[in-house]
Structure 1
Amino acid sequence: MTAKVSYLISKPVVTINKGTHSIDAAKKMAEHNIGSLIIMDNEKLIGIITERDIIRALGKGISLDLPVEEIGTTKNLITINENDSIYKAAELMAKNNIRHLIVTNNDGKLVGIISIRDLIRESHVLKALSVTSEQEWIGSD
């Protein structure tokens, strides 16, 4: 039996409302010692803002007075179902060069979020990745 993504959700998801200043998102991330917030419009999931988004904005001279939906990601959101394998989560993160993955249920409702750190702690993923790496290495002869 493969471990499910829901197994990796270790903390309650922290959200922020659409229209909130990005500087307030940065403060909230610092307060909760987390690297991302889910952007909500009422009860609807509309995006994610991460520490990387904040750093990129600062590096480009973009004001953090802009709303979170203008700094974060609201289009082409990458999500994973809570019942998918943790291996699939690792693949999605690697393929899309992301560190946070939004977890939803079968109805598309927000369940939580997992980070690359959550995956690193999961021994099942490390074992699966090592087997895959060995197979790719052997197949490259």
Structure 2
Amino acid sequence: MKQNPTSSAPDIPLEIDISDEDIYTAMQEIHGYLDITAADFKLLYRHAYQHALGRLQSIMVGELASRQVVTVSTTTPLVEVAHKMAAATISGVPVLDEKEKVVGIVSERDFFKQMGGANRSFMDVVTSCLQGGQCETASIHQATAANIMSTPAITIAEDDLSIAAAAILQENGINRLPVLAKGSDVLVGILTRSDLVGGHIMRTRRA
């Protein structure tokens, strides 16, 4: 399911109320002499914040997305899905149908749910398995990606703005977005929360 992230902007506060005490405390933590008043600092900070926000709003998803995407098909056995995720050190993979269209996502969370962890903690499930209690790995041994994937897939286009992608991730409580080519359903990349953070930090340092 491709969303239209450009139709609404994320709820980001443009004005942050910083007290004089906050500023003085912060200034005391900086070694050396600072010839600046609290009012000057507030004004400078707000201008810098607006410039930074404007810069981030101009970065497109395609600039930050990873182009090397590990995928599985709907018929891929779960043991192979797990192996691919472990080998690539990733926590989720897009699932493609016979037409190479993204139809879902399999994540660590999906595996965890199938192992009886829907309403339990990770260590509770581990303890139960080790003690010979309820442990669902045997029942899903013959299952495929289609059996446990989260669907419909939430995707984003490579020409959408990265700030909109951040809003989608936050609103849906997910960690990755399959990236589609402009104007099509062709998978061209994957965008994760860490891609957004890393990309914004790198842009800030180059600015």
TM-score by length of 1: 0.78
**Matched-pair contact (CA < 8 Å) for 1:29–1:36:** yes
Question: Which residue is 1:40 aligned to?
Answer: 96
Q: How many residues align?
A: 126
- The counterpart of 2:162, out of the listed 86, 107, 110, is 86
Larger Rg: 2
Question: Which residue is 2:109 aligned to?
Answer: 52
**Matched-pair contact (CA < 8 Å) for 1:21–1:64:** no
Question: Which residue is 1:133 aligned to?
Answer: none
Matches within 5 A, 1:1-141: 2-42=58-98, 43-60=100-117, 61-62=135-136, 63-65=139-141, 66-75=143-152, 77-105=153-181, 106-123=183-200
Matched residues in 2 for 1:50 and 1:94: separation?
A: 17
Question: Which residue is 1:130 aligned to?
Answer: none
Q: 1:103 deviation in Å?
A: 0.8
The residue identity in structure 2 corresponding to 1:15 is T
Q: Which structure 1 segments of 5+ residues have no match?
A: 128-141
Q: Which structure 2 segments of 5+ residues have no match?
A: 1-54, 118-134
Higher relative contact order (CA 8 A, sep 6+): 2
TM-score by length of 2: 0.55
The residue identity in structure 2 corresponding to 1:57 is Q
Deviations 1:84-141 (A, max 9, x none): 11100000000011011111121121111111111121226x98xxxxxxxxxxxxxx
Q: 1:11 to 1:58 in 2, by over 3 A?
A: farther
Matched residues in 2 for 1:46 and 1:11: separation?
A: 19
Q: What is the Cα-based RMSD across aligned positions, in Å? A: 2.2
Matched residues in 2 for 1:29 and 1:11: separation?
A: 16
Percent sequence identity is 33
**Matched-pair contact (CA < 8 Å) for 2:180–2:187:** yes
